[in-house]
Amino acid sequence: MVRKQRTALVLVILGVLMVIPVRLASSDVRDFAALRGQVTVLWTRGPSDTRAYPVWVWRPPGPDSAAIPVVYFLHGYPGEARDCFSAGMATLLDELLREGYPPFVVACPDGNGSAHSDTEWANAVDGIDQVMSRVTGADIAAVEGAHRRPAALRVIAGFSMGGYGAMNIAMQNPGLFGSVVSISGYFVTNDLSGMFGGQPAVLARNDPSAHPAAARGMHVILEEDAGDPLQLVRGQAAWMAGLLATAGVPAVLRVMPGSHTWPYALRAFADALTYLEQYWQQYTTAEAA
């Protein structure tokens, strides 16, 4: 109960912070007192990239370890890697840390490319902008380094286009992520920039609703705001939850008040963390047995 009250308090604070544009840098965080995380920016290149792309990372105090979960959080469109930190992610994570929440890392990659403005966090059929491969390859390698996580302690999450991307990436890379969190996402293709080239087989492969059984073995959390104005998103979480259930994949479905905004996305992320903590604890307990 105390944890819920404190989490509610920090979310109220976040609502106020959203009035003021915020850009956090590692120097901002290092000046804070103990029990605050550190924000750093890593730079990675995917298999087809002609330049490096940023990954914003929040880490709890202390040495890194393969026993500390990592959440890869994908932004929406248009967007960039720093978006969730500009919205107040570090403030939320610092508060959870002070509450005694188990430590975990949050890494926010960049989903942009050089040739396609709307990448859908996918791999382009023309070979340019292999964003999915950047996330699953260079980004994970840079964030985890020598401390590679087991799938059970690796989560992929996202907001809006990132919610679609999280589900699509998880489904196409079985065994890489133990949990997937889609926040105000959609589960059909919405290829505005021709990433899939109109090819039926490629479109089908990148359509999560076409193969829900691909989520078997993962914990799935579907969060959606009750007042979403986008037809592409509205009702998608409940629909996908039904498809998953038919395929024998249980999913957590949470529809809460809010709209298609970052303040809602952070509230939904805090809600999803209550379930992720349970999954991580189950894994840790099983490993210790």
Instruction: Check: CB of residue 215 under 8 Å from CB of residue 180.
Output: yes
Kindly report, residue by residue over 140-166, the tens digit of the pLDDT. Answer: 999 999 999 999 999 999 999 999 999
**Is the torsion defined by CA of 35, 69, 124, 216 positive or negative?**
negative
Q: What local confidence, expressed as pLDDT, does residue 35 receive?
A: 82
Rounded to an integer, what distance in angstroms lies between the CA atom of residue 272 and that of residue 180? 10
In this prediction, residue 28 carries a pLDDT of 37
Q: Provide the residue type at 96 as one letter.
A: L
> Does domain 2-288 match CATH 3.50.30.10?
no
Residue 53 binned pLDDT confidence (cut-offs 50, 70, 90): very high
The pLDDT of residue 2 is above 80: no
Least Cα distance to 159 among 191, 186, 140 occurs for: 186
The per-residue pLDDT for 13 is 35
Query: Is the predicted pLDDT of residue 286 greater than 90, yes or no?
Result: yes
DSSP state of 101: P
pLDDT for 242? 98
Residue range 89-124, pLDDT digits in tens: 999 999 999 999 999 999 999 999 999 999 999 999
Collapse the DSSP code of 61 into the 3-class scheme (helix H, G, I; strand E, B; otherwise coil) and give the result: coil
For the chain, which residues make up each domain, given as ranges? 2-288
**Cα four-point dihedral sign 62, 65, 67, 69:** positive
What's the pLDDT tens digit per position in 179-208? 999 999 999 999 999 999 999 999 999 999
Asked if pLDDT for residue 41 goes beyond 80, the answer is yes
pLDDT (tens digit, 9 = 90+) per residue, 225-268? 999 999 999 999 999 999 999 999 999 999 999 999 999 999 99
**pLDDT per position as a tens digit, 4-30:** 444 443 433 333 333 223 333 333 343
156-157-160 Cα angle (round to 5): 140
Residue 34: the pLDDT is: 62
Whether residue 63 has pLDDT greater than 70: yes
Return the bridge partners of 73, or none.
157
Q: How far is the C-alpha of 271 from the C-alpha of 248, rounded, in Å?
A: 24
- Burial call 164-185: b when 16+ CB within 10 Å, e when fewer: bbbbbbbbbbeebbbbbbbbbb
User: pLDDT grade, residue 289 (50/70/90)?
Assistant: confident
